[in-house]
């Protein structure tokens, strides 16, 4: 395997894990990208040493993937993985220059974030009937929390009781890169969560999360995806129906009601304002719609 031919990969992944403190999901993505690239070098160019890898090798690999109709978004992620790897090798002094300086990433067409309309979220939370058992209660509360806070899926399913601060109606979230942020919560929702906690079935050993199944186990990402998709299908026809769509809806609805962009950035846990600015486009589209309907000269 390339991982043994190129021990630098393992060292780089350890750096991401222990120094950068990236999530396991992110590390696996880096590992897959790097192993794929170095496997290609092994099969096509007889495993050149890292300090002899040039931009030509990288472009050759990217060209082959384009022939396989890999999306521009995926190619960009792979390029980003290689850039990080070679930057790390430069930092260690293993190479003098990165081969990535002349590698151009393909352009990605900007797509506006898909979101659920406010009226549809209102219908879901106020009029759709959830089952009255523990499963239904958990599902409703999870969807409420997604929409009320914009939390990521991993942040929500790993949320612990110790992260709740009922006296201040807020909770602490451990986000990407182990960065903490504080999220405000409506007192009514906090009260519902506290009531949920007091009436929990017995947890299995080692489980400390707020949300659990009726068998006392931690929620699994696949099951959360499934019930979020199921319930959103009851109120909306948008194609994508996932926990992340609820995060988009949270941000979009805040922006539509005049929330400050920097405040939304902090609530979402974005490191860059550019990542949050995409939500302003939906706001502009809404303003155009209002203008076209209301202005006599429109």
21 is catalytic: no
Annotated catalytic residue within 22, 88, 147, 279:
279
208 is catalytic: no
279 is catalytic: yes
Annotated catalytic residue within 22, 78, 147, 152:
152
The C-alpha atoms of residue 134 and residue 123 are separated, in whole angstroms, by 21
25 is catalytic: no
The C-alpha atoms of residue 254 and residue 153 are separated, in whole angstroms, by 19
User: Are the beta carbons of 216 and 201 closer than 8 angstroms?
Assistant: yes
288 is catalytic: no
Of 130, 154, 143, residue with least CA distance to 229: 143
For 209, list phi and psi in degrees, rounded to 5.
Answer: -80, 155
Q: How far is CA 30 from CA 5, 33, 66, 189, in A?
A: 17, 5, 19, 38
Annotated catalytic residue within 135, 176, 181, 281:
176
User: Are the beta carbons of 11 and 85 closer than 8 angstroms?
Assistant: no
Annotated catalytic residue within 231, 247, 248, 253:
247
The C-alpha atoms of residue 178 and residue 153 are separated, in whole angstroms, by 15
Catalytic residues: 152, 176, 244, 247, 270, 279
């Amino acid at each position: 395997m390339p991982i043994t031919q190129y021990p630098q990969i393992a060292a780089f992944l350890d750096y991401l894990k222990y120094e950068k403190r990236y999530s396991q999901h992110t590390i696996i993505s880096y590992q897959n990208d790097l192993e794929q690239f170095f496997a290609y070098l092994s099969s096509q160019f007889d495993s050149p040493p890292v300090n002899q890898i040039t931009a030509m090798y990288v472009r050759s690999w990217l060209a082959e993937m384009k022939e396989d109709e890999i999306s521009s978004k995926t190619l960009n992620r792979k390029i980003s993985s290689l850039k990080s790897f070679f930057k790390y090798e430069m930092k260690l002094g293993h190479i003098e220059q990165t081969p990535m300086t002349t590698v151009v990433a393909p352009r990605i067409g900007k797509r506006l974030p898909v979101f659920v309309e406010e009226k549809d979220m209102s219908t879901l939370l106020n009029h759709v009937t959830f089952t009255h058992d523990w499963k239904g209660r958990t599902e409703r509360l999870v969807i409420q929390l997604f929409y009320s806070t914009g939390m990521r899926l991993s942040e929500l399913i790993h949320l612990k009781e110790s992260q709740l601060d009922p006296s201040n109606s807020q909770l602490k979230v451990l986000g990407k890169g182990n960065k903490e942020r504080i999220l405000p919560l409506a007192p009514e929702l906090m009260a519902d969560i506290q009531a949920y906690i007091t009436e929990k079935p017995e947890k299995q050993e080692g489980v400390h999360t707020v949300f659990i199944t009726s068998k006392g186990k931690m929620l699994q990402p696949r099951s959360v995806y499934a019930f979020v998709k199921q319930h959103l299908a009851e109120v909306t026809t948008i194609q994508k129906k996932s926990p992340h769509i609820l995060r988009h809806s949270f941000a979009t609805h805040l922006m539509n009601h005049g929330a400050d962009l920097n405040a939304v950035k902090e609530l979402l846990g974005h490191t860059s304002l550019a990542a949050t600015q995409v939500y302003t486009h939906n706001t502009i589209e809404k303003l155009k719609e209002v203008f076209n309907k209301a202005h006599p000269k429109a």
